[in-house]
């Protein structure tokens, strides 16, 4: 049994084997692994006595859950109106060219994930990019290129 399987068992065993603990189990697995793998979902369903269809409907309803592995660094490009007018698409295109990933994808080395979000609520900073929860105002493809180089080195 792998160390990851042991840790998954430890997470699952923290909760009683009841359906009402489904979301807590999924939250803990999301926090520990960064996503919910099919194997983890199977184990949760077996433990909580929840049909897979119900568990997947919960996991896909809440945006905080992911069924795909996410990168170590999360890049969010705001595509809201103000950012769109000031070049947000050029920023998303620049990330796509540099990292070879499209929005909602993760680089093969699991270093970066790219998201194009509807609005980050920072219109005065447009165009804005958030990398690892840090806002970068007035972003340009050149600034973003340097920023991603720095993040990759850390």
CB atoms within 10 A of CB 54: 13
Measured distance CA(15)–CA(2) in Å, rounded: 21
> Is 83 flagged in the annotation as binding?
yes
**Adjacency order of strands within the sheet including 134-136:** 105-106, 112-117, 73-78, 129-131, 134-136
> Is 45 flagged in the annotation as binding?
no
> Is 119 flagged in the annotation as binding?
yes
Binding-site residues from annotation: 78, 83, 119, 123
Residue stretches of the annotated binding site for [2Fe-2S] cluster: 78, 83, 119, 123
């Amino acid at each position: 049994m792998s160390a990851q399987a042991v840790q998954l068992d430890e997470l699952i065993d923290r909760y009683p084997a009841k359906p009402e603990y489904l979301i807590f189990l999924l939250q803990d697995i999301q926090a520990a692994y960064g996503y919910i793998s099919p194997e983890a979902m199977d184990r949760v369903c077996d433990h909580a006595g929840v049909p897979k269809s119900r568990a997947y409907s919960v996991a896909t309803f809440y945006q905080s859950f992911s069924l795909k592995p996410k990168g170590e660094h999360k890049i969010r490009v705001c595509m809201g109106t103000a950012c769109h007018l000031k070049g947000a698409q050029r920023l998303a295109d620049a990330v796509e060219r540099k990292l070879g990933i499209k929005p909602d994808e993760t680089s093969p080395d699991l270093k970066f994930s790219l998201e194009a979000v509807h609005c980050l609520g920072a219109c005065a900073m447009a165009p804005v990019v958030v990398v690892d929860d840090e806002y970068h105002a007035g972003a340009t493809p050149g600034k973003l290129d340097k920023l991603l180089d720095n993040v990759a080195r850390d």
